[in-house]
Amino acid sequence: MEIVIQQTAEDIASVVADSIEQLVRSHAAPILGLATGSSPLPVYRELVRRHAEDGLSFARTRAFLLDEYVGLPQGHPESYREVIRREFTGLVDIADDHVQSPDGFSSDVATAGTRYDAAIAAAGGVDIQLLGIGTDGHIAFNEPGSSLASRTRLKTLTEQTRDDNARFFDSVDDVPYHVLTQGLGTILEARHLVLVATGANKADAVAAMVEGPVSAFCPGSVLQLHPHATVLLDEAAASGLK
Ligand code: F6R
């Protein structure tokens, strides 16, 4: 695992955008794995800037989201499909039907996960997977206790994650209890994992992910098993490392 410590979230965004730009300019059919939440937002802002100012085109790119809430109506502004459209894909030249997310609106969520994994495989697999980490160590919405071999499936959010995500809703009562999330096994199949964490509230989770044992208690620790994982931190998020 490669650890990169930068001064600011913008510095991190620039390093990550460089990797994505290199992929998108050089590959005939690049596949991006996209995360939502606050951590990747500076990356998306930088990519949108490069699209507008430097002619960086995403016309040949396809994208797969990590996860989606279950229980929100289609088109809800906090559904991850809408969030990613608002923050990134709707602001660049990626075709809307080239962006896929787990179908949390399906009447058959039990099989939606299998269909999603099949769609990722049929596209050729993810080239660069962006990730954030939850304060409890989750990646995507694989909460502590998730199988290291898990595939895309229905999961229940912990109270801690619902509290953490309440900032995006009017109240914690509006945060869904369930999600469809890529599994840890699914995520590990991406060719390059790029995890961004900033702020002191991530320091414990980052320390467990980087220096703790590989364990379902800290789902992020599966990055230790990946041959090409890059973790980008500011000094506050890195402050728990020895
Ligand atoms: C979101 C996701 C989550 C977030 C994590 C950190 O698609 O997969 O794992 O990355 O909850 O969220 P932020 O970045 O908001 O602290």
What is the CATH number assigned to the segment(s) 2-234? Answer: 3.40.50.1360
Cβ of residue 179 lying under 6 Å from some atom of ligand 1: no
| Residue 54 annotated in active site | no
Q: How many CA atoms lie within 13 A of 230 on its CB side?
A: 15
Place of tokens 């098993």: 225
The domain locations on the chain are 2-234
**Mean of pLDDT values over 86-102:** 98
* Residue 158 bridge partners (DSSP): none
Q: Which amino acid is at 57?
A: S
- Verify whether residue 10 is a known catalytic residue: no
Q: Residues of the chain with pLDDT > 90: what percent? A: 99
Are the C-beta atoms of residues 100 and 64 closer than 8 Å to each other?
yes
Active site residue 21: no
Give the mean model confidence (pLDDT) for residues 84-88. 98
13-68: pLDDT as tens digits = 999 999 999 999 999 999 999 999 999 999 999 999 999 999 999 999 999 999 99
Q: Which residues pair with 2 in a beta bridge?
A: 230
Beta-strand (E) ranges in the chain? 2-6, 31-34, 62-65, 67-70, 99-100, 128-131, 153-156, 178-181, 192-197, 229-234
In tens, the pLDDT along 185-225 reads 999 999 999 999 999 999 999 999 999 999 999 999 999 99
Q: How far is the CA of 164 from the centre of ligand 1 (A)?
A: 10
Tell me the CA–centroid distance for residue 197 and ligand 1, in Å.
Answer: 9
Does ligand 1 come within 6 angstroms of the Cβ of 37?
yes
Q: Which of 221, 174, 212 is nearest to 193 (CA)?
A: 221
